[in-house]
Amino acid sequence: MVWHQVFQESGLDAWDSLMENVSGVNVLAPTWFSIVDSEGTVESRANQEYVDRAHANGMQIWALVENINSEVKLDNARLLNTTSSRNRIIQTLIEQALAYGIDGLNVDLEGLPSSAGSGYIQFIRELSVLCRVNNLVLSVDNYVPKGYNTHYHREEQGVMADYVIIMGYDEHYAGSTDAGSVSSLGFVKAGIEDTLKEVPAQKVINAIPFYTRVWIQPFGAGNLTSEVLGMDGAANYISEHGMDTYWDDEAGQNVASVEAEDGIYTIWVEDEQSIGEKMKLIQENQLAGVAEWKLGFERASVWPVIAQYL
């Protein structure tokens, strides 16, 4: 499964360029559904031709629903704890899925406060019933398990949903105060092992990143900053900046660094080698599969690496 991040349009306009070298993928998850207010209004970017093309190429569509909205600050506790709001979301999602021949739904509700926990799992419960009735696959995206996100109720998700997906990345993110890997091997391993304490392996999908970050630590009093790079972007950056690269066994990644006039630049690289190490964990733990964030950040040569472990 691979996520296709879609903004204003359906994503069909970029289909040819993005799908040209893709192989081995049996599920596409376009970001088509956005919850835009705490009343449960859902905006849709679903597109029939996109669905038809995917089906013609042997791929299912698990359309993603998200709550990440830049214009409307959602009250997620009110949204999920209110029966009418939950029902409105669910009704729209089911209607859209049936209208467009979508095969499944991928729930990606992030940043939920603990006060939204009971409403959230009730939402998953209610949605799962209608997905089952209408032969729709239900998958739910989750952070790597930590003490502060137990209110997502992974164990109960594992009972109701068809798949529980671990977002095995953002170990270090844009707001991190220390430079580090987006997805080190130890981080991924812990995420899988801790999830398997609550969810059976045959329902667990581990998601891996096709991106990394270049970290810039300026000399003097400046703050640490970072920038997202896809696989080719990182390789080009390393070459252009003359960065030295070494393999880090603990991270399961190549690490590139250089000391420039203004500071130290470091990249924990995501490439075929690091992806292979993550895929070994997925294979060893007999998980249901792998997901990738996101389509367009990868190199064509990474798809055969993934395929050999599935």
Structure tokens at 64: 């993603």
Q: Please give the Cα distance from 6 to 19 (Å, whole number).
A: 14
Question: What does the pLDDT look like over 230-244, one tens digit per residue?
Answer: 999 999 999 999 999
Q: Please give the Cα distance from 165 to 142 (Å, whole number).
A: 6
**pLDDT at 209 > cutoff 80:** yes
Q: Please give the Cα distance from 187 to 193 (Å, whole number).
A: 10
Q: Please give the Cα distance from 147 to 151 (Å, whole number).
A: 9
Question: What does the pLDDT look like over 111-155, one tens digit per residue?
Answer: 999 999 999 999 999 999 999 999 999 999 999 999 999 999 999
What pLDDT sits at residue 193?
Answer: 98
Question: What does the pLDDT look like over 181-205, one tens digit per residue?
Answer: 999 999 999 999 999 999 999 999 9
**pLDDT at 70 > cutoff 70:** no
Average pLDDT score over residue span 260-284: 97
What pLDDT sits at residue 71?
Answer: 61
For residue 258, give the 3-state DSSP assignment: strand
Is there a contact between 282 and 292 (Cβ–Cβ < 8 Å)? no
**pLDDT at 10 > cutoff 90:** no
Phi, psi of 251 (to 5 degrees): -75, -25
Average pLDDT, the chain: 96
